[in-house]
Amino acid sequence: MFKQYLKPLFIAGCSLLMLAGCGNQTATTTTTTTAPSNPLEGKWEQIDFRSTLERGLGYLDYLSSEEIPRRLIYSDAFKDVTPTLTITGDSAVYDLTATTNVAVGNFYDYAKANKLTSVKGTKEQYIKNQYEDLKKQLEIYNNMKGPLSFEFNDEKYEIHQTLKDITINESAGTFEFKNAPMFIDLVTFSNEKFVKPVSYKYSIEDGILTLTLEQPKTLSGGEKIVGYFTMRFKKVAE
């Protein structure tokens, strides 16, 4: 009988010891840390494109004085173009879409009003000829198979431009372009030819991404200046 009492006491004692052991165990918690998001990541729309375009056109040396009015006519006609900069990791793509008929048509009107000899034929034919000439040149760039490419909508006189192979160097604070940014071969946002690499400094302030480039340039008259280019972007809401 004594053994009968010991057995339940032994079992109860073991149970208490097990509970005590469990009570002394320290609960472990797993903490996860979230890596800070890249503020550059995403899609950005260029703002005040007209200012960028006017500055680039202002550095051009036109061979004919009759062509100089294109600067203001084109910057006004293309003022609503909205290029985008899409950033993924440390790379980016710069693209835009523009139609040429308004700009070319406005220059035609100006040329006729001022009796310029460089413009001939009807307005419709002039717009078409200028578009086709531009398209032929841009197709040459397509055949180069470089970072720059173009697509066309002939009915709308529309050109879609894409510039790839843009690398972001965070430590240097730069955007590295293998081909300089340009606008459908009307202007390059660099003092060099668009096929030459260029490095833009960048900064972000108050939600605006600003790319800037300062480059020396010697004008046709021998005057030396420093070309200053700026491109400003605002992030597109996701």
Instruction: Decide if 36 is inside a domain.
Output: no
Domain count for the chain: 1
Instruction: Decide if 202 is inside a domain.
Output: yes
Q: Give the pLDDT of residue 3.
A: 45
Contacts of 161 (CB under 8 A, 6+ apart): 95, 96, 97, 98, 148, 149, 150, 182, 183, 184
Instruction: Decide if 33 is inside a domain.
Output: no
Q: The pTM is what?
A: 0.81
Domain containing residue 68: 42-235
pLDDT, tens digit, 9 for 90 and up, residues 74-119 = 999 999 999 999 999 999 999 999 999 999 999 999 999 999 888 9
Longest dimension (CA), the chain: 130
Instruction: Decide if 18 is inside a domain.
Output: no
Q: At what angle do helices 101-113 and 123-143 cross, to 10 degrees?
A: 130
Instruction: Decide if 188 is inside a domain.
Output: yes
Main-chain phi, psi angles of 193, to 5 degrees: -65, 150
Q: How far apart are CA 69 and CA 63, in angstroms?
A: 12
Q: Give the pLDDT of residue 30.
A: 53
Instruction: Decide if 26 is inside a domain.
Output: no
Q: Give the pLDDT of residue 15.
A: 47
Instruction: Decide if 24 is inside a domain.
Output: no
Name residues of the chain where pLDDT drops below 50: 1-24, 33, 35-36
